[in-house]
Amino acid sequence: MRPSLSAFLSGLIFAIGLGLAGMTDPANVLGFLDIAGDWDYRLAFVMGGAIAVHAALRPLIHQRAQPLFAARFPSFAASKPDAKLLVGSALFGVGWGLGGYCPGPALTSLATGAFPLLIFVPAMFAGFYLAQVLQARSGVGADASRPGAPHVGATPAP
Amino acid sequence: MTSSILLPLLGGALIGLSASLLLLANGRVAGISGVVGSLLAPVRGDVAWRVLFFAGLLAGGLLLAWLRPGSFPAPSTPSAGGLWLLAGAGLLVGFGSRLGNGCTSGHGVCGISRGSVRSISATLTFMATGVLTVFLVRHVL
């Protein structure tokens, strides 16, 4: 296996997991968030199942000195929650509650070419971009705030 | 009841497996907003795996649409108001998840699996505002 294949497979398995779990239908998501209505508790088991598997496998993976195709495992600064984390997460939650889509299911559903995603996904990318511009301007950890920054020291979670 | 939680559990387990594969092979955190959002500010040598992960997501979507079309909502024609709502929702999801350094996958799955206090705080926050938003939209407005 090569790094490109593993990345592709990981995305593929992720999408199939989302679809089987019911996350690609916003009606399920909104039903899960509607605890005051006829609460649909099923999606709690998606996060539960994902955390159970990943939390069990992580320690085994970290027994290795390094990943199969990379120099090192990600490292995380032991920083506390800050305003940026909480404000960002709060806004994300509002958008999630309005549309019923978070980024993974939105991108997976984009493959169907369904009309709502042709609006939602470009708007989401505009949001990604705005946040990056804002952070680059304010200069507050413009680089450290990029989860994707290639192993330049420790980055905040995740 | 048992059958109704079986698929969510199985789907969740696959998501956990996917995150584990990406960590084991590529040494990366499977946080969708970070993996894909970082493509807007590409760094040399750090692009291919992101594009391929994204391609995998789309391929998975196609596979689902082909073999299990019920995974997606039935096609509908949204109203003009619905369009603005979708655009606003997308903007908030993109902006918020990037500012907050993660979404349901990066914080909710990977971060919590790691026991990260930041991710637990983030997840509680977006769950709370998500619940509040649905409450306001469905039961108040």
Q: What CA dihedral angle connects A158, A10, A150 and A57, to 10 degrees?
A: 50
| The pLDDT of residue A146 is above 70 | no
Instruction: Quick: pLDDT tens for B6-26.
Output: 999 999 999 999 999 999 999
Predicted local distance difference test score (pLDDT) of residue B67: 96
| The pLDDT of residue A144 is above 70 | no
- Of the pLDDT bands very low, low, confident and very high (cuts 50, 70, 90), residue A150 is very low
Structural domain harbouring B101: 78-141
The two structure tokens encoding residue B121 = 């705080």
Q: What is the mean pLDDT of chain A?
A: 89
Nearest residue to A36 (alpha-carbon basis) of B52, B140, B20, B74: B140
Predicted local distance difference test score (pLDDT) of residue B2: 59
Residue B17 domain-assigned (yes or no): no
Establish whether the linkage from the previous residue to A158 is cis, with ω within 30° of 0. Answer: yes
Mean pLDDT of B108-136: 97
Number of domains chain B contains: 1
| The pLDDT of residue B108 is above 90 | yes
Residue A143 domain-assigned (yes or no): no
Number of domains chain A contains: 1
Residue B28 domain-assigned (yes or no): no
Distance from CA of B141 to the nearest CA of A (A): 13
Among the partner residues A14, A129, A135, nearest to B60 by beta-carbon distance: A14
| The pLDDT of residue A156 is above 70 | no
The one-character DSSP state at A21 is H
Q: Alpha-carbon distance B124 to B141, whole Å?
A: 24
Interface of B with A in 76-105 (CB under 8 A): 76-78, 82-83, 85-105
Instruction: Quick: pLDDT tens for A88-107.
Output: 999 999 999 999 999 999 99
The two structure tokens encoding residue A84 = 């940026």
Residue B37 domain-assigned (yes or no): no
Q: Alpha-carbon distance A147 to B46, whole Å?
A: 12
| The pLDDT of residue B136 is above 80 | yes
CB A67 within 8 A of CB B26: yes
- Of the pLDDT bands very low, low, confident and very high (cuts 50, 70, 90), residue B78 is confident
CB A48 within 8 A of CB A59: no
Instruction: Tell which phi-psi region holds residue A100, choosing left (phi > 0), alpha (psi between -120 and 50) or beta.
Output: left
Predicted local distance difference test score (pLDDT) of residue A152: 39
pTM (2 d.p.): 0.92
HSE-up of A117 (CA within 13 Å, CB side)?
Answer: 22
Residue B97 domain-assigned (yes or no): yes
Residue B36 domain-assigned (yes or no): no
- Of the pLDDT bands very low, low, confident and very high (cuts 50, 70, 90), residue A153 is very low
Instruction: Quick: pLDDT tens for A18-76.
Output: 999 999 999 999 999 999 999 999 999 999 999 999 999 999 999 999 999 999 999 98
- Of the pLDDT bands very low, low, confident and very high (cuts 50, 70, 90), residue A149 is very low
Residue B40 CA: distances (Å) to CA of A104, A125, A133: 17, 8, 10
Residue A153 domain-assigned (yes or no): no
Are A147 and B89 within 8 A, CB to CB? no
Question: Under DSSP, is residue B100 helix (H, G, I), strand (E, B) or coil?
Answer: coil
Question: Under DSSP, is residue B25 helix (H, G, I), strand (E, B) or coil?
Answer: helix
Q: Alpha-carbon distance B84 to B21, whole Å?
A: 38
List CB contacts of A62: < 8 A, sequence separation 6 or more. Answer: A73
Does B56 contact A at CB distance below 8 Å?
Answer: yes
Residue B30 domain-assigned (yes or no): no
Q: Alpha-carbon distance A100 to B109, whole Å?
A: 18
Are A93 and B125 within 8 A, CB to CB? yes
Orientation angle between helical segments A26-33 and A83-99, nearest 10 degrees: 120
Predicted local distance difference test score (pLDDT) of residue A77: 81
CB B8 within 8 A of CB A42: yes
Q: Alpha-carbon distance B135 to B70, whole Å?
A: 27
Establish whether the linkage from the previous residue to B42 is cis, with ω within 30° of 0. Answer: no
Residue B137 domain-assigned (yes or no): yes
Structural domain harbouring A10: 3-138
Does B47 contact A at CB distance below 8 Å?
Answer: no
Residue A70 domain-assigned (yes or no): yes
Mean pLDDT of B72-80: 84
Instruction: Quick: pLDDT tens for B84-104.
Output: 999 999 999 999 999 999 999
Predicted local distance difference test score (pLDDT) of residue B54: 98
Residue B139 domain-assigned (yes or no): yes
Q: Which value does ipTM take for this structure?
A: 0.96
Residue percentage of chain B with pLDDT more than 70:
98
Are B60 and A108 within 8 A, CB to CB? yes
